[in-house]
Amino acid sequence: MSPEEMETRTVRYGDLKPCRTAFIDAHTPGSDQKENFTIIGGGVSESPDQHVHIKDTPGFNIGAAGQPPKCRNSLHSHTTAEVFFVLKGRWRFFWGRWGTAGEVVLEEGDIFNIPTGIFRGFENIGTDYGMIMAILGGDDAGGGVTWAPQVIEDAADHGLVLGENGVLYDTKQGQSLPDGISPMPLLSDEELKGYPEPGNEAVVRDYVARYWDMMALAAKAPCEVIGESGLLKDKPGFEVEFLTRGSIPETSYTLNSHEILMVMRGHWKLSWSGGDKILAPGDTCAVPPGLEHSLTPSMSGEASLYRVMNTQDSAGPTWVG
């Protein structure tokens, strides 16, 4: 593989192309400054304007959300994994039918494997533009998003209508639902009873991992963050590991699985027989199966990255071991 070919498998943080109309709350005050990024795979965007950087998926999707201070993402649910780690800023995650069942604040490097089947939202509570990176289970990211009823109602008041086909229509731009397409129905009271309302004690302990704990645990060997025996025990169709300069393999290695490298801190040199690349914070690189390669920090100082690898497990609800 040539350096040019590897570059097509690398999405640079500075090259990310945002979509500001990705979801139903794009016009709703308080959520109307969100930026959505699809890095690998189509994600769950409801807008045809969404740019997809790498279309082929390795069994999961990689995306990101960027928001200015005090901007929030509205309450929604997924049927497959939704994992976030904080790249920049300080974020509050909240969940429940009205977002009041529980909450947790995450700092840079922290990771959250949000349980499937509960409504969740998040907001930037920092003082500058923030970015969170996302891993979504399944090639089709679970078939989309289920919104809390009030989100759909609020959006309609501001000109956005979601069709039952999963596509957004902007009445402010003269768009309307096509013939034969009805609006996305609201969840009934009976259906809403199927969405749990877990408190902090039921979520934070088993689904959140902190950056500095992982730095310590990965001092000499990779830290398994999400996996059957990981800090956050789950089998969502992928595994997540955390690496530091002390836990990288001492020699070159080859994996039979896809390996997605997501740099958190520092600069990393990816080397293989055809060349090498420097990866910076926020960069995402999809290393193909069977390629012998090595990783090493290219500069002194703090260095950390997440790597995501596909497994034989099916994408689905959060696994309880």
Bridge partner list, 284: 11, 262
- CA 20/CA 22 separation, integer angstroms: 6
* Per-residue pLDDT, 297: 96
Write phi, then psi, for 305 (nearest 5 degrees): -155, 155
Secondary structure class of 161 (helix, strand, coil): strand
Residue type, 228: E
What pLDDT does residue 49 have? Answer: 72
Spatial distance between the Cα atoms of 132 and 306, rounded to a whole number of angstroms: 13
pLDDT of the chain, 321 residues: tens digit per residue: 899 999 999 999 999 999 887 778 888 888 889 999 999 987 666 666 778 999 988 999 999 999 999 999 999 999 999 999 999 999 999 999 999 999 999 999 999 999 999 999 999 999 999 999 999 999 876 557 899 999 999 988 888 888 888 888 888 888 888 989 999 899 999 999 999 999 999 999 999 999 999 999 999 999 999 999 999 999 999 999 999 999 998 889 999 999 999 999 999 999 999 999 999 999 999 999 999 999 999 999 999 999 999 999 988 888 765
| pLDDT value, residue 45 | 61
Q: What is residue 148's DSSP assignment?
A: -
Q: What is the pLDDT of residue 46?
A: 62
CATH number of 210-310: 2.60.120.10
Answer yes or no: are the C-beta atoms of 18 and 64 closer than 8 Å.
no
Q: Where in the chain is the domain with CATH 2.60.120.10?
A: 14-176+187-208, 210-310
**Token output for 289:** 């199966």
pLDDT at 219: 96
| Cβ-based neighbours of 292, under 8 Å, separated by 6 or more | 252, 253, 254, 272, 273
pLDDT at site 141: 60
Whether 40 and 57 have beta carbons less than 8 Å apart is answered as yes
pLDDT score, position 67? 96
- Positive or negative, the Cα torsion across 257, 260, 265, 271? positive
Q: Write down the pLDDT at residue 164.
A: 86
- Choose the CATH number for 14-176+187-208 among 2.60.120.10, 3.40.50.920, 1.10.3210.50, 3.40.50.10860: 2.60.120.10
175 in the Ramachandran plot: left (φ > 0), alpha (ψ -120 to 50) or beta?
beta
pLDDT score recorded for residue 72: 93
Please report, in angstroms and rounded to a whole number, the separation of the first and last CA atoms in the chain: 40
Per-residue confidence (pLDDT) for residue 26, from 0 to 100: 81
